[in-house]
């Protein structure tokens, strides 16, 4: 890098710094919303509790909760609630009863009902034993959780279980399920319970509802249930909103969305004296294996037992945005130094453009790292995320210098030529660009196909693929060099598949899903460089034998 490039580099760094500060201050802007509970009288009514931390899982048959950890959790939770809901007494959760008594708390004690009659009998026996031993620590017994939703028992069998537990314990007894199954439940089950426990989760509804509209939706469902169930007392057994995960229609998880929904719901519940349980106390990473990223992000505390947000005042998705902006600027400086050393940053205009590109790429890198950290569910997925990050670094190393060369930039080699020379020792700029482009498109297409055929729990990795999709599109639009003549049928096939996936995902997800539309836009950006020879390549592909 020569001294004559220093002015352009300085302009680039200033531009990148301004962009990083602007982007992260916008992402981290405080959002005003109603305050949450204050003081002892404003405690949360009840919180779902499971003791699992880190890699702990209820699917581990050898796992037993450590009573000392439960004690620590209850010491923390007792400051914000007087009640916890548990879903079973197995895996050491029977220790919750004496510890709840210690902290003056009550337990909504769950009895897990499934397909196995033998396992059901063991659950009931354990719960009844604890009910006789700690009756003063139990708020009610919940006999079965979403059993009808899972199709594991018939309503009349559940009613028999409920009546039996009530007769054996003399304590209030209920059954918990989503609204649809309560609205069509036989009167036998409705009559068996002391109160109806309904789960209303705007994010997981068949027609998902945003955090802003969540309380209005819950109110309409709760009022309909009260009318159809003829005045039977309603208890909201689960409600909440995730702080991370894929967007579903207008329901976009975030810290702000979670805080807004919980605060507004508690204000509504207080106004009509509605009893409720929030899901949940602590984030549960094991749920990501069942429900994707969102499944592990429902807690009001992280899995490390740190509060996610304050209950009073504005809330920010990135309260530490200043630190992120500084880190972003540092990464952008490294990218700019690489672009100056390997590219042609010879004037202030190119320097400013390089600053914009470096700042945007640095922001995307930070968002990619954050998403990988919260989304990976296993060592295998951690490896996949690491490879994806390596792919991004390779992309930036090869592509960014070319974006400073304008009309002298290299153009990616045709995929057929890349594949033919994959194991040759020599590497030209064109070959490296072609390889990275092929790798990026193939992995992006794999993600898109997964979103087409199995989309419910899959995220849209926009940050991970934005530099590649937009970078190659920008190179195509700014480069004055035409790609060498070559067989382009592979490009045509991949471009067609990307466009087809984009259309399918857009139709499936709907116009409200901004994350899905952004991913579809990246698919189209990936296809853009092949438009020039697309028609000819498609004709060749169709006519070839």
Q: What is the per-residue pLDDT across 341-382, written as a single tens digit (0 to 9) for each? A: 888 888 899 999 999 999 999 999 999 999 998 888 778 888
Same domain, 37 and 157: yes
Is position 284 within any domain?
A: yes
Do residue 24 and residue 37 come from a single domain?
no
Query: What DSSP state is assigned to residue 438?
Result: H
- The residues facing 196 across adjacent strands are 234
pLDDT for position 62: 85
Enumerate residues 6+ apart whose C-beta is below 8 A from 306. none
Q: Specify burial of residue 160 (Cβ count, 10 A radius: 0-12, 13-18, 19+).
A: middle
In a domain, 384, yes or no: no
Q: Are residues 69 and 9 in the same domain?
A: no
> Given 295, 330, 362, which residue is the final one in a domain?
295
Confidence of residue 39 (pLDDT cuts 50, 70, 90): very low
Considering only CA atoms, which of 421, 358, 491 is closest in space to residue 20?
Answer: 358
Banded model confidence at residue 40, pLDDT cuts 50, 70, 90:
very low
Q: Indicate whether 382 belongs to any domain.
A: no
Q: Which two tokens stand for residue 100?
A: 């709840």
pLDDT interval class at 543 (50, 70, 90): low
Residues 254 and 334 in one domain: no
- Inside any domain, residue 77: yes
Do 271 and 361 belong to one domain? Answer: no
The structure's pTM equals: 0.92
Phi–psi pair at 461, nearest 5 degrees = -80, 60
Say how many domains are in the chain: 3
Q: Is residue 310 part of a domain?
A: no
Residue 58 located in a structural domain: yes
Task: Examine the fold and report which residue of 295, 329, 362 is the final residue of a domain before the chain moves on.
Answer: 295
pLDDT above 80 for 130: yes
Residues 277 and 344 in one domain: no
Q: Would you state the structure tokens that stand for residue 308, as one six-digit string?
A: 């996610």
**Secondary structure letter of residue 308 according to DSSP:** S
Q: Identify whether 314 is part of a domain.
A: no
pLDDT of res. 433: 93
Q: Helices (DSSP H) in 312-347: which residue ranges? A: 321-342
Burial (CB count within 10 angstroms: exposed 0-12, middle 13-18, buried 19+), residue 107: buried
pLDDT in tens, 68-89: 999 999 999 999 999 999 999 9
What pLDDT digit, counting tens, does each position of 417-440 carry?
888 887 777 778 889 999 999 999
Which segment of 14-23, 126-135, 525-534 scores lowest on mean pLDDT?
Answer: 525-534
pLDDT of residue 221 exceeding 50, the answer is yes
pLDDT in tens, 269-301: 999 999 999 999 999 999 998 899 999 999 999
Pairing of strands 196-199, 276-278: unpaired
Would you say how long the chain is, in residues? 545
pLDDT of residue 170 exceeding 80: yes
Q: How crowded is residue 188: how many other Cβ atoms within 10 Å of its Cβ?
A: 14
Phi-psi region for residue 301, left (φ > 0), alpha (ψ -120 to 50) or beta?
Answer: beta
Q: How many CB atoms lie within 10 A of CB 444?
A: 23
In which residue are the tokens 């309380």 written?
A: 215
Q: What is the CATH number of the domain that holds 42?
A: 3.20.20.80
Under the banding of pLDDT at 50, 70 and 90, the label for residue 54 is: confident
pLDDT of residue 504: 97
435 and 536 belong to one structural domain: yes
List the structure tokens of 121. 């009998």
227 shares a domain with 126: yes
- Nearest to 468, CA basis, from 430, 433, 496: 433
Do 500 and 541 lie in a common domain? Answer: yes
CA 410 to chain centre: 38
- Same structural domain for residues 360 and 445? no
Average pLDDT, the chain: 91
Q: Are 44 and 266 in contact (CB under 8 A)?
A: yes
Question: What range does the domain containing 174 cover?
Answer: 33-295
Q: Do 43 and 92 fall within a single domain? A: yes
Q: Are 299 and 282 in contact (CB under 8 A)?
A: yes
Last residue of a domain, which of 279, 295, 311? Answer: 295
What average pLDDT does the segment 214-224 reach?
95
- CA end-to-end distance (rounded Å), the chain: 51
- 4 and 68 part of one domain: no
User: Domain for residue 466, yes or no?
Assistant: yes
């Amino acid at each position: 890098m020569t001294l004559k490039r220093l002015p352009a580099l300085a302009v680039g760094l200033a531009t990148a710094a301004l962009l990083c500060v602007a982007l992260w201050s916008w992402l981290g802007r405080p959002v005003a919303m109603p305050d949450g509970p204050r003081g002892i009288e404003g405690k949360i009514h009840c919180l779902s509790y499971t003791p699992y931390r880190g890699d702990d899982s209820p699917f581990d048959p050898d796992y037993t909760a450590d009573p000392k950890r439960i004690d620590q959790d209850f010491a923390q939770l007792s400051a914000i609630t007087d009640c916890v809901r548990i879903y079973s007494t197995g895996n050491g959760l029977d220790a919750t009863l004496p510890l709840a008594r210690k902290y003056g708390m009550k337990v909504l004690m769950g009895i897990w009902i499934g397909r196995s009659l033998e396992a059901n009998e063991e659950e009931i026996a354990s719960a009844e034993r604890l009910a006789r031993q700690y009756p003063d620590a139990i708020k009610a017994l919940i006999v079965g959780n979403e059993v009808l939703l899972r199709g594991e028992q018939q309503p009349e069998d559940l009613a028999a279980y409920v009546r039996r537990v009530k007769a054996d314990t003399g304590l209030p007894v209920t059954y918990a399920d989503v609204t649809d199954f309560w609205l069509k439940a036989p009167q036998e089950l409705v009559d068996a319970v002391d109160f109806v426990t309904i789960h209303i989760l705007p994010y997981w509804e068949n027609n998902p509802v945003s955090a802003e509209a969540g309380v209005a939706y819950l109110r309409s469902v709760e009022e309909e249930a009260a009318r159809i169930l003829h005045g039977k007392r309603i208890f909201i057994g689960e409600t909440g909103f995730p702080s991370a995960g894929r967007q579903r229609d207008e329901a976009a998880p975030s810290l702000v969305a979670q805080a807004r929904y919980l605060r507004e719901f508690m204000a509504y519940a207080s106004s009509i004296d509605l009893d409720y349980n929030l899901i949940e106390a602590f984030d549960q990473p094991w749920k990501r294996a069942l429900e994707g990223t969102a499944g592990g992000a429902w807690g009001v505390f992280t899995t490390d037992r740190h509060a996610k947000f304050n209950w009073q005042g504005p809330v920010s998705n990135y309260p530490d945005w200043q630190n992120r902006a500084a880190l972003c600027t540092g990464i952008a400086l490294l990218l700019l130094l690489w672009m100056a050393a390997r590219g042609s940053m010879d004037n202030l205009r190119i320097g400013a453009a390089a600053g914009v590109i470096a700042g945007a790429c640095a922001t995307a890198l930070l968002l990619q790292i954050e998403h990988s950290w919260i989304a990976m569910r296993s060592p295998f997925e951690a490896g996949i995320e690491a490879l994806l990050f390596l792919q991004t670094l390779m992309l930036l190393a090869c592509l960014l210098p070319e974006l400073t060369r304008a009309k002298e930039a290299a153009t990616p080699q045709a995929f057929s030529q890349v594949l033919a020379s994959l194991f040759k020792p020599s590497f030209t700029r064109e070959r490296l660009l072609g390889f990275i482009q092929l790798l990026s498109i193939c992995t992006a297409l794999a993600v898109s196909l997964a979103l087409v055929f199995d989309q419910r729990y899959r995220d849209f990795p926009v940050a991970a693929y934005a530099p590649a999709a937009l970078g190659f599109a920008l190179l195509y639009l700014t480069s004055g060099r035409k790609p060498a003549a070559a067989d382009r049928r592979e490009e045509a096939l991949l471009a067609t598949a990307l466009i087809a996936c984009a259309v399918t995902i857009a139709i499936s997800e709907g116009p409200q899903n901004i994350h899905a539309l952004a991913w579809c836009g990246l698919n189209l950006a990936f296809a853009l460089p092949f438009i020039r020879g697309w028609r000819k390549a498609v004709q060749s592909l169709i006519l070839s034998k």
